[in-house]
């Protein structure tokens, strides 16, 4: 298993194939993909890309209240959204997704240290497919709010974790 930074273009095939199979490649491109602090990671088995994840800075908003939490405003805590986490069926259950998630956590912690914001540990969050909630709970993420539907994609829960 090899995890490394990849280009956004390298993510598109798995994003479309696994996360949005009934949509086109254009539907797999996100506005945040090219922002300066956005990072894309790939998991490789031999030389084959078998897993992906993207992370970018974005404020966490509680789903029910649609309000930015006080810890964002009062502590200047950096918030990072995980998006487009996907692994090929052939490697599920082999630790690739967890390794990708650990790479995201290392990335945001490195950013915090380099920018002297370690005192305000970063918060990572995602809109997790309902079927992936158990995976994120194993990585110590907490459910925030009720299940909601993302049109054309399916049921999700908002999940969060302060990275330390």
Q: Which domains does the chain show, CATH number per domain?
A: 2-162 (3.40.630.30)
- pLDDT of 70: 42
C-alpha 137/C-alpha 139 separation (Å) is 5
Provide the pairing of β-strand 123-129 with 142-150: unpaired
Residues 106-154: pLDDT tens digits?
Answer: 999 887 666 655 556 788 999 999 999 999 999 999 998 899 888 888 8
The position carrying tokens 């078998």 is 50
Q: What is the pLDDT of residue 71?
A: 43
pTM reported for the whole predicted model: 0.88
- β-pairing, 123-129 vs 79-87, is parallel
Q: If pLDDT is split at 50, 70 and 90, which confidence band does 34 have?
A: very high
Is residue 76 within 8 A of residue 120, CB to CB? The reply is yes
Q: What angle do CA 109, 110, 111 make, to 5 degrees?
A: 90
Pairing assessment for the beta strands 2-5 and 39-45 based on DSSP bridges:
antiparallel
Q: Where are the alpha helices (DSSP H) in 43-95?
A: 70-75
116: left (phi over 0), alpha (psi -120 to 50) or beta: left
Give the tokens for residue 111. 């950013």
In terms of DSSP bridges, do strands 39-45 and 154-162 run parallel, antiparallel, or are they unpaired?
A: unpaired
Q: Is 95 left (phi over 0), alpha (psi -120 to 50) or beta?
A: left
């Amino acid at each position: 298993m090899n995890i490394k930074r990849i280009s956004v273009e390298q993510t598109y095939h798995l994003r479309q194939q696994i996360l949005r199979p009934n949509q086109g490649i254009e539907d797999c491109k996100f506005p945040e993909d090219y922002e300066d602090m956005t990072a894309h990671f790939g998991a490789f088995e031999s030389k084959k890309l078998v897993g992906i994840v993207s992370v970018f800075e974005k404020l966490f908003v509680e789903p029910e209240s649609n309000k930015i939490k006080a810890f964002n405003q009062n502590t200047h805590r950096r918030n990072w959204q995980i998006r487009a986490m996907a692994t090929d069926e052939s490697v599920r259950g082999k630790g690739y997704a967890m390794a990708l998630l650990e790479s995201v956590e290392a990335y945001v912690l490195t950013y915090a240290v380099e920018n002297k914001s370690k005192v305000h540990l970063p918060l990572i969050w995602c809109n997790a497919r309902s079927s992936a909630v158990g995976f994120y709970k194993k990585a110590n993420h907490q459910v925030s709010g009720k299940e909601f539907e993302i049109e054309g994609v399916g049921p999700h829960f908002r999940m969060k974790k302060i990275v330390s």
